[in-house]
Structure formats: structure tokens, C-alpha cells
Amino acid sequence: MVEKKEIEHLADLVKVNLSEPEKYIKQVEQILNYFDRLDKVEFQSDETLGIQITTEDLREDIHIQYGDSLIEHLKKDQNNFIRAPKMV
């Protein structure tokens, strides 16, 4: 069972002010119970845990030079901030 002092200690560690630490006790207990369930999962083989990819299977990175001046394509926003175009 999670206690109020443990919630307060966690809040102190992450530098968060909690006015009502008691209301988080149930949520933290649910999270811990979920991790307990995950710990009990059994795998038939280690192959299930991870898939290895060789470097031959990866695409080759190619640098493509951007032809235009990037500053010309930027839109000025309020307070003279610049909004950059979406990257795709």
C-alpha cells in the first residue's frame, strides 16, 4: 500500500507542489499493480523480447541541399517571432 508520505516524497523529488497528496494514492497503486502484472508475464523464448536489425537492412542517409534561402520562406509572427514551415 502506498502512503501519503511516499507521495509527498515523490512530489518533492520532482519539484511539484501537491495540495492534496492523498488523492494520488489510488493512481500510484494502480500503476504499481500494473507493473506487477507486467513482471509476471512469461515469454516462451528470448526472440519475443527483441528483434535485431542489421545495418544492411537500413536505408542509406542522403543529404539533399536546400536550394532556396530558408529565411525568405519563414513567416513573421506576432512580437517578431518566426514561424518555420512544417518539416515532412
Q: What is the DSSP letter of 61?
A: P
Task: Give the burial string for 34-43 (b: 16+ CB within 10 Å, else e).
Answer: eeeeeeeeee
Looking at residue 88, what is its pLDDT? 65
Residue 73 has pLDDT above 70, yes or no: no
Looking at residue 46, what is its pLDDT? 65
Looking at residue 8, what is its pLDDT? 92
Taking the C-alpha atoms of residue 43 and residue 8, their distance in angstroms, rounded to an integer, is 37
Q: What is the pLDDT of residues 10-57, one digit of tens each?
A: 899 999 888 888 889 999 999 999 999 999 988 776 666 677 778 888
Looking at residue 41, what is its pLDDT? 82
Which residues on adjacent β-strands are paired with residue 76?
82
Taking the C-alpha atoms of residue 81 and residue 71, their distance in angstroms, rounded to an integer, is 12
Domain boundaries, the chain: 4-39
Between these two residues, 49 and 62, which has the higher pLDDT value? Answer: 62
